[in-house]
Amino acid sequence: MVPASVMDLANKASDIRFSAWEIEAIRMELELKPRKGLLRKILEEKINDDDSHPPYIRVACTGKGKYDSMARKHYGLLPDGDHADAGSPAVLEIWPAQHYSPMHSHGGTTGIIYCLTGQIDVMAYEELRWGATELGLLTLTPGQCAWLAADKFGVHKVYCPMDGGSKPVGPWNLLNETSDYAATFHVYLNEEETVPDTYVPAELGTRDVFEYVHEIEHDRRKFATYSDLSWHVLRRVLAKNSST
């Protein structure tokens, strides 16, 4: 049975839409040629930090992003500060074609994955372990939603199966030459957040710190969540792009 809290999140997310100009503006920022877009540059920077898998982009709906300062250099925008905040509960994720996340666990959170554009595949696993039993593959297209809870579907891997072009490009050949992508909206809530006096941030098993399986070494590691861009900065980039 789907928890009532998940149904509430899904119902609220069902009203979220990308406009045609937003979809195209994001595509332009993923372009490699004739002008390398901001999102393409961020993807290249992320590979320098972690070359174990093709990167994707997390956009915090609240707070600050790690690469907000790149928007200033790229477009002359002036975001507030140059550091990332941890663990935004609502996140837009941009998945270039053929890119994916490592297998990871969202611990004790309750949440949804709502597809805004493109297509993604979500594989759920029985446990957080390389070679773990696959529980099922769910394909999401715009308007469709997947969910997870503390005791159900909490371990998964997300993949964008769209056409990535004829050849890999970029550092370590981990990027694709096309600007095709999928975009998803994610909300992850910690149970303790409903009781602020007992909530402890940056605790393993919450949205602030989760575990994942490394794609090359196959061991379990911890990851303190952060966002690459803040929504208010990305929105200004897209608006500026659509007017040129």
> What is the DSSP secondary structure assignment for residue 214, as one 8-state letter?
-
**Tokens matching residue 88:** 């935004």
**Tokens matching residue 76:** 């002359």
62 phi, psi to nearest 5 deg:
-135, 155
**Tokens matching residue 126:** 């029985």
Q: Where are the domains of the chain?
A: 4-242
4 phi, psi to nearest 5 deg:
-60, -35
Nearest to 117 by CA among 21, 3, 244, 225: 21
User: Domain 4-242, what fold?
Assistant: Jelly Rolls (2.60.120)
List the chain pLDDT tens, one digit each, 244 residues: 777 778 888 888 888 889 999 999 999 999 988 888 999 999 999 998 899 999 999 998 887 888 888 887 766 665 555 555 555 678 999 999 999 999 999 877 888 999 999 999 999 999 999 999 999 999 999 999 999 887 888 999 999 999 988 888 988 899 998 999 999 999 888 766 534 455 555 454 556 788 999 999 999 999 888 889 989 889 888 887 766 5
Cα 243 to the center of its chain, rounded Å:
26
- Radius of gyration, alpha carbons of the chain: 17
